[in-house]
């Protein structure tokens, strides 16, 4: 195998491959990236046996072939090289040669035969349905922040994905907060049972997709497949019973506060400078047309800030984790947000003013 490629073009894809590969792999070849050159294109594959990645880039192929090399070292070498074209070649004695053109630099990496590399999961093109990239990325952003990191409750370590008629819903929860979003699409070829999608592939989709054009999805009982631009991703699904999220969404709430989103975020950041680091607890005190935010850190002091808002109702105090407010506020794209609640110990809903099908929900802490 022998091919030539521009450094910037290949380093981008090898960086993605390294994100896929687990640093704790006990199987040595899973620490490798597969390179296959043919017809003036290079196919790059990586997997940790749960998530798979494949992409193709244009290269100048002198001799076709395939091999696998240790991805972390390969990436480090590429980053160290000067800008410009690089010649890559595979020798019969399992040496992979890296030679930048017009520079007297030579790297040799040990390689492993590509035949030993595990096959990636695949599925027929007939099983895919298409969605606008931007809308799917928005749904991912609105939910992944609420995923649980508690591995004992593995069924909450991903985002619940379901469809009904021509709508898709995504839900995530960690037991103290929940985010739900539902979006209608024109696509009619959507047909799968509800599944739990690991966050790793969702973060990759969000990071790699351009936000333009369409993205193709296919969902089976065990896997999800994603295609967009020149990328292919696949992942195992999480098995388990996702909590009945519909019971958490309040049917009605007594009070509604309209407040400027950015002013709220900045006030929370300032007041959170003096919170107990373990609980991250702040206090929200709603009075007529005003929100007072308080915090206290026993060893250092207190903080207090008042923010103007639109609120008429009984004075109410609520305690909660400030991060649970900031996370949804950061991903809501609206000048103002609506904060709805019914009492000090009942669920709080944070929604944009324009979209009734987005429900970030936060459970408060006990007041003391």
Dist. CA 340–CA 337, nearest whole Å: 10
Summarize pLDDT for 45-104 with one digit per residue, the tens.
Answer: 999 999 999 999 999 999 999 999 999 999 999 999 999 999 999 998 899 999 999 889
pLDDT of residue 343: 87
CA distances from 163 to 127, 166, 167, 183 (A): 15, 7, 6, 10
Q: In terms of domains, do 11 and 43 share one?
A: yes
Quote the strand ranges of 48-176, DSSP E. 51-58, 60-63, 65-70, 85-90, 95-100, 107-112, 129-132, 158-164, 167-173
Dist. CA 46–CA 66, nearest whole Å: 14
| Exposed / middle / buried, residue 244 (Cβ in 10 Å: 0-12, 13-18, 19+) | exposed
Residue 367 lies in a domain: no
Residue 191 lies in a domain: yes
Length of the chain: 368
Which residues is 321 bridged to in the sheet? 281
Residue 304 lies in a domain: yes
For range 144-164, the mean pLDDT: 94
- Above 90 in pLDDT, residue 148? yes
pLDDT of residue 170: 97
Note whether 280 and 322 are within 8 A (CB).
Answer: yes
- Examine the fold and report which residue of 59, 84, 116 is the final residue of a domain before the chain moves on: 116
- Above 70 in pLDDT, residue 24? no
Angle at 289 between CA 288 and CA 290, to 5 degrees: 90
Q: In terms of domains, do 42 and 6 share one?
A: yes
CATH number at residue 243: 3.10.150.10
Identify which of 364, 331, 327 has the alpha carbon closest to the alpha carbon of residue 345.
364
For range 210-226, the mean pLDDT: 94
Percentage of residues in the chain with pLDDT exceeding 70? 98
Percentage of residues in the chain with pLDDT exceeding 90? 83
Say whether 364 sits in a helix, a strand or coil. coil
Say whether 244 sits in a helix, a strand or coil. coil
Confidence class for position 190, pLDDT limits 50, 70, 90: confident
Dist. CA 171–CA 360, nearest whole Å: 10
Confidence class for position 26, pLDDT limits 50, 70, 90: low
Q: In terms of domains, do 190 and 212 share one?
A: yes
pLDDT of residue 244: 94
Average pLDDT in the chain: 93
Dist. CA 311–CA 314, nearest whole Å: 9
Q: In terms of domains, do 93 and 11 share one?
A: yes
Residue 263 lies in a domain: yes
- Above 70 in pLDDT, residue 23? no
Q: In terms of domains, do 232 and 260 share one?
A: no
Name, in order, each residue with C-beta under 8 angstroms of 170's C-beta and a sequence gap of 6 or more. Answer: 139, 140, 142, 143, 159, 160, 161, 180, 181
Dist. CA 368–CA 345, nearest whole Å: 12
- Examine the fold and report which residue of 202, 231, 247 is the final residue of a domain before the chain moves on: 247
For range 253-257, the mean pLDDT: 93
Note whether 82 and 104 are within 8 A (CB).
Answer: no
Specify the number of domains making up the chain: 3
Domain span at 297: 255-362
pLDDT of residue 185: 87
Dist. CA 348–CA 339, nearest whole Å: 7
pLDDT of residue 142: 95
Which residues is 310 bridged to in the sheet? 258
Q: In terms of domains, do 8 and 54 share one?
A: yes
């Amino acid at each position: 195998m022998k091919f030539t490629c521009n450094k910037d073009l290949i380093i981008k894809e090898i960086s993605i491959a390294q994100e896929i590969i687990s640093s704790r792999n006990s199987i040595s070849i899973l620490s490798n990236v597969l390179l296959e050159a043919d017809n003036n294109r290079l196919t790059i594959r990586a997997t940790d046996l749960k998530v798979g990645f494949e992409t193709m880039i244009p290269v100048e192929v002198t001799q076709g072939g395939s091999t696998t090399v240790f991805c972390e070292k390969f990436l480090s070498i590429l980053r160290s090289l000067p800008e410009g074209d690089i010649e890559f070649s595979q020798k019969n004695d399992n040496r992979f040669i890296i030679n930048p053109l017009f520079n007297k630099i030579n790297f040799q990496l040990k390689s492993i035969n590509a035949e030993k590399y595990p096959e990636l999961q695949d599925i027929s093109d007939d099983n895919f349905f298409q969605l606008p990239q931007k809308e799917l990325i928005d749904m991912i952003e609105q939910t992944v922040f609420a995923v649980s990191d508690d591995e004992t409750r593995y069924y909450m370590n991903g985002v619940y994905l379901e469809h009904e008629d021509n709508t898709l819903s995504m839900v995530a929860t960690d037991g103290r907060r929940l985010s739900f979003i539902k979006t209608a699409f024109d696509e009619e070829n959507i047909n799968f049972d509800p599944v739990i999608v690991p966050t790793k592939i969702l973060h990759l989709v969000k990071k790699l997709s351009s936000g333009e054009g369409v993205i193709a999805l296919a969902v089976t009982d065990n896997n999800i497949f994603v295609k967009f631009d020149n990328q292919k991703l696949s992942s195992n699904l999480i098995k388990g019973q996702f909590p009945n999220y519909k019971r958490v969404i309040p049917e009605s709430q007594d009070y509604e506060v309209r407040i400027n989103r950015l002013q709220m975020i900045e006030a929370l950041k300032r007041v959170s400078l003096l919170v107990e680091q373990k609980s991250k607890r702040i206090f929200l005190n709603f009075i007529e047309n005003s929100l007072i935010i308080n915090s206290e850190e026993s060893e250092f002091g207190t903080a207090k800030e008042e923010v103007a808002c639109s609120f008429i109702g009984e004075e109410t105090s609520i305690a909660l984790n400030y991060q649970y407010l900031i996370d949804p506020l950061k991903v809501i794209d609206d000048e103002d947000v609506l904060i709805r609640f019914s009492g000090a110990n009942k669920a709080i809903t944070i929604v944009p003013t324009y979209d009734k099908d987005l429900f970030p929900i936060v459970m408060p802490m006990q007041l003391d």
